[in-house]
Amino acid sequence: MVKFKPRFFMLPFATTSHHIDQITDGIAGQGYVIVPGFLPDTFIQALRNEALTLQEAGKLQRATIGKAENNQLDNKVRGDLIHWLDHADASPVQQEFSAIMETLRESLNRHLFLGLFELENHFAIYPPGAIYNKHLDQFRGNEERQVSCILYLNEDWKEEYGGQLRLYLDGKEPEPYIDTVPLGGTLVAFLSGKFWHEVLPASQPRISLTGWFRKRGSSLS
């Protein structure tokens, strides 16, 4: 029997499609884009509750660094806890999020010819003090990750809590950079192979839903 999962949020088409255009234009133009209020508070709240429920159930794991074959844990490099989303077992709000991101994927492919074929994403919770050192989202020798998308799920975040995403605009150079405060509902997207970035420490737990649009790898294995 087909399991019917209702969609709860049904965003107004015009709002979402405006944001999709804004993101596509930003990526095509400067390679990155910051969109405050990408999704309404009710939607963000539902996603945040899922992240927190998973955490309470012990379903978040320490994130590792590097490729699967030599995974490492190192708090000085990366201190967040993550939970990969399972598309086959997605909640209604996750399904609706996937539908929105699918529209974005098609728009990016249509305008930028990136050949994106899927989105992989995980919830991430940074405990107070945790960081993610300056890095690129493409691992060496693997260019599958093309566009990084980070959606912040924090409630009532204040600038003094810290936890900014620092996006470097000139390769590995320390300047110039842009800081984004992880306010709930803000989405940051950028070309994964181009922008070095880091997560600054925060005084409060910092929650996000982070994903990467991937193109197919060059090997057929």
**Radius of gyration over alpha carbons of the chain, in Å?**
17
- Work out how close the CB of 4 gets to ligand OGA at its nearest, in angstroms, rounded to a whole number: 33
Give the residue nearest to ligand OGA (CB).
165
Per-residue exposure over 127-156, b if at least 16 CB sit within 10 Å of its own CB, e if not: eeebbbeeebbbeeeeebbbbbbbbbbbee
- Is 197 a residue that touches ligand OGA (CB under 6 A)? yes
- Of 65 and 90, CB closest to Mn ion: 65
Residue 66 φ/ψ region, left for φ over 0, alpha for ψ in the -120 to 50 degree band, beta for the rest: left
- Is 165 a residue that touches ligand OGA (CB under 6 A)? yes
Residues 40-99 that bind ligand OGA (CB under 6 A): none
- Work out how close the CB of 114 gets to ligand OGA at its nearest, in angstroms, rounded to a whole number: 19
- Is 38 a residue that touches ligand OGA (CB under 6 A)? no
What residue 186 binds from ligand OGA, Mn ion, none (CB within 5 to 8 A, per partner kind)?
none
CA 49 to chain centre: 17
Task: Number of residues interacting with ligand OGA: please give it, by CB under 6 A.
Answer: 9
C-alpha span between 211 and 159 (Å, rounded) = 24
- Is 150 a residue that touches ligand OGA (CB under 6 A)? yes
- Of 162 and 211, CB closest to Mn ion: 211
- Is 137 a residue that touches Mn ion (CB under 5 A)? yes
- Is 80 a residue that touches Mn ion (CB under 5 A)? no
Identify whether the C-beta of residue 48 lies closer than 8 Å to the C-beta of residue 207: yes
Strand ranges in the chain using DSSP code E only, listed in sequence order: 32-35, 61-62, 81-84, 116-126, 132-135, 145-152, 165-168, 177-180, 187-191, 197-199, 206-215
- Of 17 and 64, CB closest to ligand OGA: 64
Task: Number of residues interacting with Mn ion: please give it, by CB under 5 A.
Answer: 1
- Work out how close the CB of 38 gets to Mn ion at its nearest, in angstroms, rounded to a whole number: 18
Whose CA is closest to 121, among 47, 12, 70, 41?
A: 47
C-alpha span between 53 and 67 (Å, rounded) = 28
C-alpha span between 30 and 169 (Å, rounded) = 10
- Is 104 a residue that touches ligand OGA (CB under 6 A)? no
Q: Which residues bind Mn ion (CB under 5 A)?
A: 137
Q: Can you give the binding site for ligand OGA, defined by CB under 6 A?
A: 124, 132, 137, 150, 165, 197, 199, 208, 210
